[in-house]
Amino acid sequence: MGKNVLVLGSGGREHAICQAIAKSPLLGKLYIAPGNPGTASLGENIDVSPEDFPKVIELIDKREIQILICGPEAPLALGLMDNVEDFFSSKENKPVLIGPKQFAAQLESSKQFAKEFLFRHHIPTAAYKSFDQTQLQEAIEFIEQMTPPIVLKADGLAAGKGVLICHDHLEACEELSQMLNGKFGAASEKVVIEEFLSGIEFSIFALTNGKDYILLPEAKDYKRIGEGDTGLNTGGMGAVSPVPFVSPELKQKVIQNIIEPTINGLQKDNIEYCGFIFFGLILVGNEPFVIEYNCRLGDPETEAILPRIETDLLALCNEIHTDTFGRQNLNISDQHSAVIVLASGGYPEFFQKGISIQLPEQTEGTVFHSGTKLKERGLITSGGRVFAVNALGNHPQVALQKANSMAEQIHFEGKYFRKDIGLDLQHLWNSK
Ligand code: AMP
Ligand code: GLY
């Protein structure tokens, strides 16, 4: 009998997770809550919000779910896994939970928690101090002795908007006071002020049971809305994997200085962790530093990395609590992967929803749905990021050209995508 799986979420990341596990011979039935029109072609979408814990638990129970994979961070930060675990604690049919419980999810949901963890375990990261509303004066004094740019971070989850890079002391002090006064609601009741690190960013991912881990491929994402990395921050406008400057030596350094100390740190601190960890890194000179942890996979990085993984992802999840977990060899295709995000006009600020979409009949890669809905009149837009198109190729240029041509062939009014994804890395590819 195959394993029944429930994937929580509704974006391109969850579509890519479903595509990966739909290939698995281990799969019984695949459910997605709430899913999107893309995931509907791979399993059964169920209209339940991942944050509605009683309904999620009922779904797991009724549909005899054996593996639960949570895509986004918000349900994890709210304690989804604690609730599921409590419900099944005295039952025999407890599902495998891929996603950490609330305490461990603080690695993403509290910047202060993450920074304290990083410092406690001597993992390279920017110097910082954190302050609350009662410490405005001290915080200003701290800012005044820093050399700009100065990085201000809301402690809590702020939908990717809670980080400000200030170019002088005055701007930093003004922003700080607004943050402590509720600019990001409860998320900025505490603010982490940190040193600016100058370098190139990349991310690497691991699947872990808190003791052993499997390293997944790295990716580079493109966070800004505008070409040449300009304009406002977004959830991510594209991604490539592999990343040409991530040499085997650098990867080894990341493992030694960051990944292993993180996993060992979880153990030393007795922090139970089961799920994906996203290491947001920056390369300063030749040294990798941690910018952030996320307790989930990235979007659109997932749409770039999972199509390269040949090993059965569902089998890895299924075996996560066995003694052999972490010893499996991950087979990664040497194909290059490129993802381009198609966004609604106006995103990340105001944008319209409900716009009709025309998809080509055939494409050279995968069209992952991010913000779409199916109505009587056909497919319509329902979010800022509408699709993430993925293409593979023997050379990054080939993957990018295919992804670009897919992006051109999808039509909806106001469609916007960056045409420069990966171009900053071109000189590195050409020199290989
Ligand atoms: P975070 O939410 O912590 O990932 O921050 C969002 C973005 O802000 C990162 O992807 C970086 O581009 C930038 N950032 C965060 N912290 C720093 C830092 N200490 N130095 C330079 N840039 C940073
Ligand atoms: N693309 C960045 C993230 O998923 O957080």
Note the pLDDT tens digit of each residue in 31-59: 999 999 999 999 999 999 999 999 999 99
**Does 341 lie in the same domain as 299?**
yes
92 or 354, which is more confident? 354
**Does 318 lie in the same domain as 211?**
yes
Domain boundary among 137, 169, 195: 195
- CB-CB contact of 129 with 170 (8 Å): no
93 or 373, which is more confident? 373
Mean pLDDT of 139-146: 93
How much is the pLDDT for 93?
A: 86
How much is the pLDDT for 432?
A: 61
**Does 138 lie in the same domain as 62?**
no
**Does 310 lie in the same domain as 164?**
no
Is residue 117 in some structural domain?
no
Mean pLDDT, the chain, rounded, equals: 96
Q: For residues 5 and 15, what is the distance between their CA atoms, to the nearest angstrom?
A: 14
Q: Does the CB atom of residue 44 touch ligand 1 within 6 A?
A: no
Atom of ligand 1 nearest to the CA of 197: 20
Q: Does the CB atom of residue 221 touch ligand 2 within 6 A?
A: yes
How much is the pLDDT for 328?
A: 85
Query: For residue 26, what is the domain's CATH number?
Result: 3.40.50.20
Domain boundary among 152, 170, 195: 195
Q: For residues 9 and 159, what is the distance between their CA atoms, to the nearest angstrom?
A: 15
How many helices (H) does the chain have, and how many strands (E)? 14, 21
Mean pLDDT of 293-307: 98
What pTM was computed for the model? 0.96
In this model, does residue 227 exceed pLDDT 90?
yes
In this model, does residue 224 exceed pLDDT 90?
yes
Give the full edge-to-edge strand order of the sheet including 238-241. 287-294, 275-284, 200-208, 213-221, 238-241, 336-343, 385-393, 366-369
Local confidence band at 429 (pLDDT 50, 70, 90 cut-offs): confident
Domain boundary among 169, 195, 221: 195
pLDDT digits (tens, 9 = 90+) for 276-292: 999 999 999 999 999 99
In the block, residue with structure tokens 């997932």: 302
In this model, does residue 270 exceed pLDDT 70?
yes
How much is the pLDDT for 236?
A: 95
In the block, residue with structure tokens 């909806």: 412
Is residue 119 in some structural domain?
no
Is residue 426 in some structural domain?
yes
Q: For strands 163-166 and 150-154, give the pairing.
A: antiparallel
The number of domains in the chain is 3
In this model, does residue 117 exceed pLDDT 80?
yes
**Does 58 lie in the same domain as 133?**
no
Local confidence band at 182 (pLDDT 50, 70, 90 cut-offs): confident
Eight-state DSSP code of residue 157: -
**Does 393 lie in the same domain as 330?**
yes
In this model, does residue 22 exceed pLDDT 90?
yes
Is residue 421 in some structural domain?
yes
Name the residue with the closest Cα to ligand 1, atom 5: 163
Eight-state DSSP code of residue 329: P
Mutate to test the pocket of ligand 2, among 201, 299, 341 (most ligand atoms within 8 A of CB): 299
Ligand lying closest to the C-alpha of residue 292: 1
Q: Does the CB atom of residue 203 touch ligand 2 within 6 A?
A: no
- CB-CB contact of 304 with 363 (8 Å): no
How much is the pLDDT for 95?
A: 97
**C-alpha pair distances (Å), 320 with each of 125, 188, 279:** 29, 35, 19
Q: State the residue range of the domain holding 230.
A: 200-430
Query: For residue 131, what is the domain's CATH number?
Result: 3.30.1490.20
- CB-CB contact of 387 with 12 (8 Å): yes
Is residue 109 in some structural domain?
no
pLDDT digits (tens, 9 = 90+) for 57-110: 999 999 999 999 999 999 999 999 999 999 999 888 899 999 999 999 999 999
Ligand lying closest to the C-alpha of residue 166: 1
